Amino acid sequence: MSQRYVVVVKADCPTCQLIAPVLEALAPRETVALWTQDDPAFPAVPGVQHDVTLKASFDLGVEIVPALIAFSGQEEVARCEGWERAAWQSILEDPTLGAELPALRPGCASLSVTPPHSERLRAERLAARRVTLGQEEDIQEALFDRGWSDGLPVVPPTPERVARMLEGTSRDPAEVLGDVPPNLVPVTVEKVAINAVLAGCKPEYLPVVLAAVEAALLPPFCMHGLLATTYFSGPMVVVCGPLAKAIGMNSQGNALGQGNRANATIGRALQLVIRNVGGGRPQGVDRATLGNPGKYTFCFAEDGDPKWSNLNEDAGLARNANSVTLFAADGVQGIVDQKARTPEPLCRSFAEALKVVSHPKMVQAADAFLVVSPEHARVFHDAGWSKEAVIKTLRDYLTRPGQELVRGAGGMEEGLPPALAERSFEKFREGGLRLVRAGGEAGMFSAVIGGWGASGTIGSSPVTHEIRL
């Protein structure tokens, strides 16, 4: 099959001006199409096409001009951007082409990759339906009125902002990540990017948001059930790996609180996807009796501890991988122990706090995360205790006789059937208690984050999902 060629140039480029004799030699060839980006009179030869919208350059992926691209049928077979005499001669099969010119000259940036053209061109490729607001409409009020907000102001997702957001990932905007409950609507990378804009994310956060959405759609996480339950819980996102630091996430002081853009907006973007794509809204399918403030956003980074395995390793990934761990979480319950200097008494304090997850007499109904602060972690490190040793000790301390847990015990009607009084029970199922280190260096305070009362095999299990850039 015979080849055809496309040459893209612009007048405002010294190298393009330099190769004007080459362009004049190519103009008469029927197999060569000449495109100029800025000046329709350059080069001064017949048949030049003016890429006035820059769409042709954008569709061809031209980054540097002059650009020479060879096609066999519809398939690109060769490309040279800038002037490299030997390459142009080889691609065009003309050993004398440009013989009088220098062997090599760098080109200039294509107009199609420079602002504001690049944003406009990327925006034109978006597949999402455009919504036009009235001239007199207040933008924020219009977004509230259309139900696109979680109750707080959002960033208007203009096409340019969405296109800029998509620069944060190499993934195809049309890629479908799965079906978002409750309405089981397919969600694309582009749709996630729109909600990431609404949430206030930076483009570099998008891979984390995408991974969080994918994790939420995994069957073990049971997003539909979590959404529909009357319980308190919503998705909590814990980010592990070097990417968390690279995008500025907070794993230290006030890690579970406000003030960090990445922490705040990544978790919010996930919730907005569930709301705006899947249709999961309070007093609709979201049937929470009370809910919790973390349903706006609940996201933080793990503070890497060289003496303990991290969440990556706990899930079978490489230590330096980048991942998100999702957990069906309630609010934060603080633990104060400023006296313990050895592991056993500190574990006793932790165990007493963990007993009350869901209810002091409920066992293996809910999972939990124990967020260990650096000062408390130091107590274990000084004694040479691994994370596994801490968990084992906590499980031992949290194993209780049935007579303390049955209905009526302690004057509480809540509890296990009386027939189970002679058995012993662990508070959490196997793997139902997770440890993660986070928080500031000062303060002997840790935290329990209880889980949905339908954790594990009958409901939601924590899931760890690797982040794709």
Q: Given this model, what pLDDT does residue 30 score? A: 93
So what's the pLDDT on residue 350?
A: 98
pLDDT-derived band of residue 454, with 50, 70 and 90 as boundaries? confident
- Whether residue 465 is predicted with pLDDT greater than 60 in this model: the reply is yes
Q: Which domains does the chain have, with CATH numbers?
A: 3-114 (3.40.30.10), 142-466 (no CATH)
When pLDDT is cut at 50, 70 and 90, the band that residue 456 belongs to is: low
More confident residue, 14 or 133: 14
Instruction: Tell me the average pLDDT across 223-250.
Output: 96
Which percentage of the chain shows pLDDT scores above 70? Answer: 99
Q: Are 194 and 126 in contact (CB under 8 A)?
A: no
312-354 pLDDT, tens per residue? 999 999 999 999 999 999 999 999 999 999 999 999 999 999 9
pLDDT the model gives residue 1: 57
Q: Is the pLDDT at 458 greater than 90, yes or no?
A: no
- Rounded CA separation 134/155 (Å): 18
9 with 80: CB under 8 angstroms? no
- The residue among 23, 66, 62, 22 whose CA lies nearest residue 41 is 23
Give the HSE-up count for residue 125: Cα atoms under 13 Å, Cβ half-sphere: 18
- Binned at pLDDT 50, 70 and 90, residue 2 comes out as confident
> With 60 as the cut, is the pLDDT of residue 412 above it?
yes
Cα–Cα distances (Å) from 44 to 41, 275, 381, in that order, read 6, 56, 76
Q: What is the pLDDT of residues 168-201, one digit of tens each?
A: 999 999 999 999 999 999 999 999 999 999 999 9
Cβ contacts of 31 within 8 Å, gap of 6 or more? 2, 3, 4, 5
Task: Provide the pLDDT confidence category of residue 367 given band limits of 50, 70 and 90.
Answer: very high
The pair phi, psi for residue 180, each rounded to 5°, is -90, 125
Residue 34 to residue 114: CA distance in whole angstroms = 21
- Mean pLDDT for 258-269 is 98
Report the C-alpha gap between 200 and 393 in whole angstroms: 42
pLDDT at position 207: 98
User: What tokens does 373 get?
Assistant: 């602060």
pLDDT at 445 over 90: yes
